[in-house]
Amino acid sequence: MIQEKPMISVVIPAKDEAESLPELCDWIARVMAENQFTYEVIIIDDGSKDHTWEVLGQISVRNPCIKGIRFNRNYGKSAALHVGFRATSGDVVITMDADLQDSPDEIPGLYKMIKEDRFDLISGWKKKRYDPITKTIPTKLYNAAARAMSGIYLHDFNCGLKAYDSRVVKGIEVYGEMHRYIPIIAKWNGFAKIGEKVVQHRARKYGHTKFGLERFIFGLLDLVSITFVTRYRKRPMHFFGTLGIFSFLVGFFIAIGLIIEKVYHNWYLHRTVRSVTDKPLFFLGLVAVIVGVQLFMAGFLGEMMTTSNPTKSNDYLVAEKIGL
């Protein structure tokens, strides 16, 4: 029997979410049935210490549309999304968190924006949040920085509730902690039609948040990293070479200027001045020349590494699967 291709694939990273999964899966199934969607739900157990995997197995027996992947250890949300994306077969892929703070009732609206409005990616915007001020203020600052550096004007880059055309999730790589910047990764891979939808944010019902304040520090560092990687990964010489040439020329013209000054004073003014090598400015120019050469060589080596290693390998140890 040939299995029907699902209209929607829902990818859900989960870590220690045994309490919330039954309610979440029932809710998703109800929404899909009401809208006559064919679907699959792929839940990635990211190294849970509770009974998440056992609960997932029980749910999948009742509903074969619920599938699971269990990591051998905790790899993080980006790894879970990466592996989940590779396992999807639906035309539209929707991601959400497992803690019931994202509402499955948003699925029909997100699906319509992808299929009918022809967006490549729709990012949720939790306009009204149920988070403490210690989380909302850093989030606003982080989103402002992401907008400024990426040129993508989204209010909430880190919202877990997103919808994608299947071409997007099959055409991008999510690694490290880059799940926050999937819209940026998508844009730099040519998927530029990115939209936004106001979505409901619900208060956490079970457990506690898995993220601390340190994620905002790491988030800023990741933003700088992804901005550099997406622009210059395939052409590192453009970045390092430009800086190297600029630094070299600054140092070169400093040295030439000092030599001309020395010659002018000695030959035309017949005045004795300090040796060029006795001036602090000379050493500044020398350092600039050395740094310029090193930056240029870094770009050259980067080009060689890019040529010999055109792809990035992401291997995560999967312990078990359900329905896949």
Q: What CA–CA distance (Å, rounded) separates 156 from 153?
A: 9
**pLDDT tens figures, 104-145:** 999 999 999 999 999 999 999 988 776 666 666 667 777 787
Are residues 297 and 200 located together in one domain of the fold? no
pLDDT at 168: 94
**318, part of any domain:** no
pLDDT, one tens digit per residue, over 53-66 is 999 999 999 999 99
State which residues form the domain around 132.
8-233
Domain-located, residue 188 = yes
CA-wise closest residue to 195 among 128, 113, 273: 113
Q: Does residue 109 sit in the same domain as residue 188?
A: yes
Check whether 287 has a pLDDT greater than 80: yes
**Domain shared by 37 and 160, yes or no:** yes
Number of structural domains (the chain) is 2
What's the pLDDT at 2?
Answer: 45
User: 77 with 195, same domain?
Assistant: yes
- Same structural domain, 193 and 294: no
Q: What is the model's pTM?
A: 0.72
Q: CA–CA separation, 92 vs 77, rounded Å?
A: 20
Per DSSP, the three-state class of 122 is strand
pLDDT score of 1: 39
Structural domain ending residue among the three candidates 179, 214, 233 = 233
Predicted confidence band at 52 (pLDDT cuts at 50, 70, 90)? very high
Which pLDDT band holds residue 281 (cuts at 50, 70, 90)? confident
The answer to whether position 314 is within a domain reads no
Q: What is the CATH number of the domain that holds 17?
A: 3.90.550.10
pLDDT at 247 over 80: yes
Q: What integer is the mean pLDDT of 227-234?
A: 66
Please report the pLDDT score of residue 70 as a whole number: 94
**Together in a domain, 150 and 117:** yes
Convert the pLDDT of each residue in 70-86 to its tens digit.
999 988 888 999 999 99
Residue 313 has pLDDT above 50, yes or no: no
What is the rounded radius of gyration, in angstroms, for the C-alpha atoms of the chain? 27
